[in-house]
Amino acid sequence: MVNVAVLGYGTVGSGVVEIINKNNALISKRVGKEIQVKYVLDLREFEGDPVQKILTHNFEDIKNDKDVQIVVETMGGLHPAYEFVKAALEEGKNVCTSNKALVEAYGPELIALAKEKNVNFLFEASVGGGIPIIRPLRDCLAPEEVLEISGILNGTTNYILTEMTDNGSKFDDVLKDAQDKGYAEKDPTADVCGHDAARKIAILTSLAYGKSVAFEDVYTEGITEISDKDIVYAKNLKKKIKITGTARKNGDKVSIHVNPVLLSKAHPLYNIDGVYNAIMVRGNMVDDVVFTGQGAGKLPTASAVVSDVIEAAKFIDSNINIEWSEEKLSLEAFDDTEWQYFVRVQGNASDLSDSIKATFGDVSFQDAGFNEEVAFVTPKIAENKFNELINSFKLINKIRLS
């Protein structure tokens, strides 16, 4: 018998209990041992819910119970999640978490502690919800030198951009809809400003290269500046606006950024719409592989957590090596990255065309029928050069091409 304790009976935690109970026979068969949820920790009462029978309000009950081999952390936030996870690992218990903030902030420390105690710290659900990406990156792609990871990593913003593109919906209306459907973070600025995606690409990049990237070091732009006019231009260009998180190897450095991009039809992420996420990994041997699925929501995310429970149960007496040290990964300055830019500036084509061409070179002008503005696509230039050149114009918005 393998006993599991679940910390936090919110959306994901209750999903974990539901999956372990509903699919118990097949999960136990696949593990080769019976699995049961012995405790659920939550401050609240759940009168009438069968979970009430196994509910505790005291973490010490779980920590001191030698029969609990696996602790699932689905509380979210850094504290007390960090203290509980650390204490569980110190007691020689395996930990499976969906908490990306915890993984991004304390990943290497908790991985090292799990190794020292010969148990596992697993976090499949921390990136991409129900999409298998952490274990494939760690195991299936272990023979590869990773050249690039690029993903649509946030369901809320992908849903907003899709609705704006397909149905002409207004940003604020779609955000409210995403919140009502439970996709958005408690504070949706983490979604719309790109911080949620920045945490996710920081985790994936740290795993791919074995060294740490802090999410604060990821260049991050959200989607708040994207307007319905940008969407019209994107359609004219036969492209879609998406927000992607990308890490790209460039010599001995890695450039890492989250920002809106214009994707052409040939791009593997072009057709990923709605709340769906997708992650493309380019290896130096396997070439491109793409993982896609629901990046948020109760059962998809809980399913990823239970996949960790199954792995921890199978490897109950041994540590699975995870390469992720505290050492900082060497990053390329965002200023040095090169892009083609779609640009809108204030003014009239008759006044500005010559100076735009003289400044940016071989541009392609775009006309979507809007007055008092000129739009164009630049050749490839470095970010710092673009910022210097655009100073002579009144910028309305710019979106990079990818």
Binding mask 284-303 for ligand HSE (x = CB under 6 A): -----------xx-------
Q: Which residue in 59, 82, 121, 183 binds ligand HSE (CB under 6 A)? A: 183
Rounded CA gap, 297 and 305, in Å? 12
User: Segment contacting ligand HSE (CB under 6 A): 47-55, 108-116, 177-185, 227-235?
Assistant: 177-185
Neighbours of 225 (CB within 10 A): 12
Q: Which residue in 13, 107, 129, 194 binds ligand HSE (CB under 6 A)? A: 129
Q: Which residue in 3, 154, 205, 337 binds ligand HSE (CB under 6 A)? A: 154
User: Segment contacting ligand HSE (CB under 6 A): 27-35, 179-187, 203-211, 243-251?
Assistant: 179-187
Among candidate residues 38, 100, 200, 298, the one labeled active-site is 200
Q: Which residues from 15-74 bind ligand HSE, rule CB under 6 A? A: none
- Known active-site residue 200: yes
User: Segment contacting ligand HSE (CB under 6 A): 88-96, 153-161, 169-177, 318-326?
Assistant: 153-161
CB nearer to ligand HSE: pick between 193 and 343: 193
C-alpha torsion sign, points 184, 190, 193, 195: negative
At its nearest, how many Å lie between ligand HSE and the CB of residue 316? Answer: 28
CB nearer to ligand HSE: pick between 108 and 297: 297
For the chain, give me the number of helices (H) and strands (E)?
14, 18
CB nearer to ligand HSE: pick between 13 and 283: 13
What is the amino acid identity at position 283? Answer: G
For residues 344-372, one letter each, b for 16 or more C-beta atoms within 10 angstroms of the residue's C-beta and e for the rest, the string is bbebeeeebeeebeebbeebeebebeeee
At its nearest, how many Å lie between ligand HSE and the CB of residue 154? Answer: 4
Q: What is the DSSP letter of 138?
A: I
The β-bridge partners of 36 are 3
Q: What is the DSSP letter of 402?
A: -
Burial of 16 (0-12, 13-18, 19+ CB in 10 A): buried
Please give the C-alpha separations between residue 351 and each of 206, 342, 355, 367, in angstroms, as whole numbers. Answer: 48, 19, 8, 15
Q: Which residues are catalytic?
A: 200
Contact footprint for ligand HSE (CB under 6 A)? 129, 154-156, 183-185, 191, 196, 295-296
